[in-house]
Amino acid sequence: MDLEIKIHEFEAIHSDDIEIIDVREEWEYVAGHVPGAVNVPLSSLADNLDLIPTSRHYIICASGGRSLRAAEALRGAGYESVSVAGGTIAWIDRGNEVITEDDDEEESA
């Protein structure tokens, strides 16, 4: 299994059936994220390993740097992590949909 997947390959497999972890900070995630992605910021990844699936999953960030670091670390711990090269910027540049959210905390309070 490769450590990194190219954006066009990720587009081809993107569906509700794959697990996607967005390691950007919450403010970045809320501004626009790949549909189906769950936010676990890189800065808190080590404290939230219970949120990371043990099965194959895809890690995305803004441009691919943070996701590659996260995937390398998680692979070292036995996870089946794959980084999405180019990240959310490449996803948007290729004309794909992103989900934007208002402050979810205000809505759920």
Does domain 4-100 correspond to CATH entry 3.50.50.60?
A: no
**Residue 101: its pLDDT value, please?**
82
Q: What is the mean pLDDT of residues 37-43?
A: 97
Contact between 88 and 32 (Cβ < 8 Å)? yes
Domain ranges of the chain: 4-100
**Residue 109: its pLDDT value, please?**
28
Contact between 59 and 83 (Cβ < 8 Å)? yes
Q: What is the mean pLDDT of residues 87-96?
A: 98
Residue 86's SS3 state is coil
Q: What is the mean pLDDT of residues 19-39?
A: 97
What are the backbone angles phi and psi of residue 34, rounded to the nearest 5°?
-65, 135
